[in-house]
Chains A and B, each alone.
Chain A
Amino acid sequence: MATATQIQKGYIDYVLSNGEAPKSVYVFAKRLKIAEEEFYLHFGSFSSIEKAFWADAVSTVVQAIRQQEVWPSFSAREKVLSFFYGFTEFLLKNRSFAVYTMKAYRQGLSAPAVLEDAKPAFEAFAESVIVEGLETGELADRRFFTKRYKDALWVQFCFITRFWINDTSAAFSKTDEAIEKGITVTFDLFQHSPLDNLLDYGKFLSRNGRFV
């Protein structure tokens, strides 16, 4: 019996050796010397293998970074940074495949479909970190906006992934910079900032406009 991991490995190998997906599940199963129905036990299609690849990457990295000794001492900001550094590091082993799956989605702002399964995994992580940050007071609890924090992090996720895919700098140091600066800005916005005072002042003025 082939396991999901074996099938995924076989698929990655096929794609990287041939530069394209197998013509059909039949062809692929034959090559792996497994029955076609065995394939369907684990995956519905080739694209679900690709989606699982990204989702697995996210959960593997989340697990790994939580093992770090320094983890409990990290702030929410540092936890998210740690995730992205771990994530791009982890993907390095399979960069060619990652690039292949994203090839079709390089353009456009919406999240690539191949990241569909990675999204809930990442959001669960983001949510837990945000909740911690709100509890310690590191992040500002704002009406309406607090619920969108994880969306902002998801936007960063897609941006950083795409940046890394297209990065050509040595050791992908540009991606490091993109992570460091991008997450810093994002978390600056999550924190109590002059923006809150500005909004508060605006609210006050709009309510008391008749005195102006």
Chain B
Amino acid sequence: MLSMDKNMLPRAYVNKFTQSQYNAPPLSGPLVVRTFTRHFGKSPEQIYDRFDIRSTHAASIGQVHRAELNGRQLAVKIQYPGVGDSISSDLRLVKPFAFRLLGMSEKELNVYMQEVEERLLEETDYELEVRRSQEFSQACSHLDHVVFPKYYPELSGPRVITMGWLEGLHLKEFLQTNPSQEVRDRLGQALWDFYNFQQHELRAVHADPHPGNFLITPEGNLGVIDFGCIKELPDEFYRPFFSLILSDVLQDREKTLRAFRELEMILPQDSPAEIEFYYQAYREMIGLFARPYATSEFDFSNASFFEELYGYGERISKMPEFKQARGVKHFIYVNRTNFGLYTILHDLKAKVRTDRYRPAAALNNGSTSPVQ
């Protein structure tokens, strides 16, 4: 299941889903006002010193307005009405499209669908998002060169989030300014630290490394602006998966097979030939995926690594053996997160130290020792 092919599932889903929301015309001024009076009993002009009734841009399931309070610049995110209710029905509409795209049967994909639906539903819960944003920005506050907007729970509600306005450029715009290698490396390191600290220390990760969710501030820091999608990594997934990547388990066929079985990449009913096939295929994939971890430093501008990665994805997407459900559901978002991270680092052409925030003890279940 670790295939990049299925890694497309959430993306295809989310794209189709957000497309239907983006196509919605922007909220009218009166509906914006109404959203506020409904929740706060006050209009935006009574809450903020200044509130721009026209939105500055669309967010995935809402729109963003600029506001000011006590001299502080704020970004106010407002959700389109009815988004939450329409997720299930919208996803049903997208389903056949996803099946065609992946060439799988409905039954096999249902487990993954549910996972995606759960995440999307969480994304519509703005109160949850504010809570998580505060928790995560607090937990990650010690990371170098990573900054977060301040969140204002008292000015947030089920359909409104108020946060500080982060000034900065999106990745694409930033790259056009021709930044120096030093700045690229610094940002790449910030990204790497941010993700690996979350995965290994918090065991829950910002699972939407979409370039739009980051801003490069004028000071050259990485601003993280959206905690709508969080994937928690339960121990029964975390341990076998990262033991494959961060220790020498992969050198040992028996231990590797055990991990693959735990992760349902190899199933109990598989024949010896099938076991051999999937063992080889997944071993190659994990080996690729783990490569940045194999050394203490990795250069993500390395084109040949990405060619290999995409080439592998291309290859297995054509194999009928991978047109079936394999692997626990957690792979969907963990893959999306890490491949997303690699892709952004590649765009940045950053060289990063990959030995930071590596878990050691947690993975070491007595028989294996982490690679140094």
Contact = CB atoms under 8 A, between A and B. Distances in A.
A169 B37 CA distance: 18
Interface string A131-150: 00000000000000000000
Given A89-B38, A169-B85, A77 B33 contact: no
A153 to B, nearest CB: 15
B30 interface: yes
Contact of A81 (B31, B38, B82, B85): B31
A176 interface: yes
B308 interface: no
B27 interface: yes
Nearest to B27: A180
B31 A173 contact: no
Contacts of A179: 31
A180 B34 CA distance: 11
B34 A176 contact: yes
Interface string B13-57: 000000000000101111101100110000101000000010000
Nearest to B37: A89
A74 B29 contact: yes
Q: What interface size band does chain B fall in?
A: 10 to 19
B45 A69 contact: yes
Interface string B82-102: 100100000000000000000
A83 B37 CA distance: 14
Interface string B214-234: 000000000000000000000
Contacts of A74: 29-30
A82 interface: yes
A18 interface: no
Contacts of B29: 70, 74, 78, 81-82
Contacts of B43: 68, 70
A69 B53 CA distance: 12
A171 B28 contact: no
A171 B30 contact: no
11 contacts: A70-B43, A70-B45, A74-B29, A78-B28, A78-B30, A81-B31, A85-B31, A89-B34, A169-B85, A173-B81, A180-B31
Interface of B: 25, 27-31, 33-34, 37-38, 43, 45, 53, 81-82, 85
Interface of A: 68-70, 73-74, 77-78, 81-82, 85-86, 89, 169, 171, 173-174, 176-177, 179-180, 183-184
Given A70-B45, A74-B30, 17 more contacts: A68-B43, A68-B45, A73-B53, A78-B28, A81-B28, A81-B29, A82-B30, A85-B30, A85-B31, A85-B33, A85-B34, A89-B37, A169-B85, A173-B81, A176-B82, A177-B82, A180-B81
The 9 closest A-B pairs by CB, nearest first: A82-B30, A85-B34, A81-B30, A176-B81, A177-B82, A173-B81, A81-B28, A78-B29, A85-B30
